[in-house]
Amino acid sequence: MTQPTLDRRTSGILLHPTSLPGRFGIGDLGPEAYRFADLLAETGQGLWQVLPLGPTGYGDSPYQCFSAFAGNPLLVSPEKLREDGLLTTADLAKAPEFPEESVDFGAVIDFKRSVLKHAFARFQKTASTTARQGFEGFRREQAGWLGDFALFMALKDAHRGASWTTWERQIKTRLPQAVEQARRDLEAEVRAHEFAQYLFFRQWEDLRTYVHAHAIQIMGDVPIFVAHDSADVWAHPELFVLAADGGPAVVAGVPPDYFSETGQLWGNPLYRWDMMTRTGYAWWIERFRAVLGLVDLVRLDHFRGFEAYWEVPGKDKTAVNGRWVKGPGAALFEALQAALGPLPIVAENLGVITPEVEALRERFGFPGMAILQFAFGSDDSAESFKPHNYPRHLAAYTGTHDNDTIDGWWSGGVGDSTRTQDDVEAERDNCRQYLGTEGREIHWAFVRAVLASVADLAVIPLQDVLGLGSEARMNVPAKPNGNWRWRFFWGQVTHALRRRLRGMTEIYGRVPATRPTKVPETAG
């Protein structure tokens, strides 16, 4: 079975919306997102890849969200709210001075909460009948998750952000009368969280429509696991392996690897696949239905975990003492296909990949991923990351959000990896010989190799297009804080850079025939 995710050879840019420019401390779904879509079209790109779009929790990570279904209210654009009459110019003038090149999440959260509070108050006072009907329609359409999520967030606010396992027993264990009492007591707060979701979904749909009008698709991201401190686990504890106190009995991670000698301890609770099976995988079906309502393709994170996952005792401090446990395998994807039809999935098949994992991926025709930065090491898997070994049905990357940038990797030492300095030098030597370069403009050598490959899809993090160093890295795996902060600014995207990317994309046959053949002289 072959299920192509794209109907043509194409390329795209990986950039999470939080990394967009803008004066409100964090990238959002406002004018700069539309300007970035214009940049993608101008340079011949057919794909915009983003990270998970949910409301971020621990460590500000998009892979640790308060819900697998909700959107991130930090992405709501104040400027779009002003256009809608929900904020005034005076409201926007009160924004503090934020850093331009990174996200100060604490300050941004305080500001955005204030903005959303003002917008909701104005909506309640001034909204037309049509606008109110739109909000109520959204509440009905999203009722399967929205009520639980909004109540969960209202309760977290009432408990000053504390994890749900520390709440009063009646509400922690969701006694029906306690839940209903909380809904009554927190009705205004619940409605405010629902309204913030309404704003996110409406702004996202407007942006997606604009992106589609430029013949660009959006690739989203579905993490295999959810955060323990989430509405998903609180509302559906029967679907997760939990201890008597509500904490995770076992947690997710990966064994010792390139990034860590003690493995990566993610801490996410693991699924009770027996319960998932009894319900016909209903929760997963609704999760995929929701994400496919937002994006066109899905990068399915940690695909190997669906064949077998690394289970670590809940009290352990490292991932060393884990064990492999069989996942749902083909049964899950058969259920998803039966309910939703062909699945536009790119399988993140990195890490400890076995023949069984590859057989599962190939059975459903999901393209895998190849990371060029991993092609020059001494381990056995390196050969599969070299472009001369790529199959067509593949998504090829220079690097991902978890990697150092190409320039950072090239100029740095062992960094966050488990390599020795000798390993680093050997990798560089191998890279020089393979790419025929002495390292000048190494990022462009990587970009060219990926675009030139036979892979149907080539994706480049914007940091690698810009040739930025380690200061622009998005995430260091297993580092609990300080990630996800990087932002670019338009001065970095020069006219010469746009023309060069467009030229390479054209040379290697990745620009749609309907696109303009030249970058306008006034660009950038």
Q: Which of 15, 115, 103, 116 is nearest to 59 (CA)?
A: 103
Residues making up the chain, counted from first to last: 524
Please give the Cα distance from 247 to 262 (Å, whole number): 23
DSSP strand pairing (297-300 vs 345-347) = parallel
Please give the Cα distance from 276 to 285 (Å, whole number): 10
Q: Which residue has the tokens 């994807």?
A: 333
Residue 464 known to be catalytic:
no
Tokens describing residue 111: 């500001």
Residue 232 known to be catalytic:
no
By the 8 A CB rule, do 304 and 349 touch? Answer: yes
CA dihedral 31, 35, 38, 40 (to 10 degrees): -120
Displacement of CA 359 from its chain's centroid (Å): 26
Query: What is each CA distance from 277 to 243, 284, 337, 362, in whole angstroms?
Result: 21, 10, 15, 22
Q: Which of 362, 402, 423, 506 is catalytic?
A: 402
By the 8 A CB rule, do 481 and 414 touch? Answer: no
Residue 402 known to be catalytic:
yes
Edge-to-edge strands, sheet with 308-313: 264-269, 250-254, 308-313, 323-326
- Judged on CB neighbours under 10 Å (0-12, 13-18, 19+), 7 is exposed
Q: Which of 84, 91, 189, 301 is catalytic?
A: 301
Q: Which of 28, 42, 307, 348 is catalytic?
A: 348
Active site amino acids: 301, 348, 402
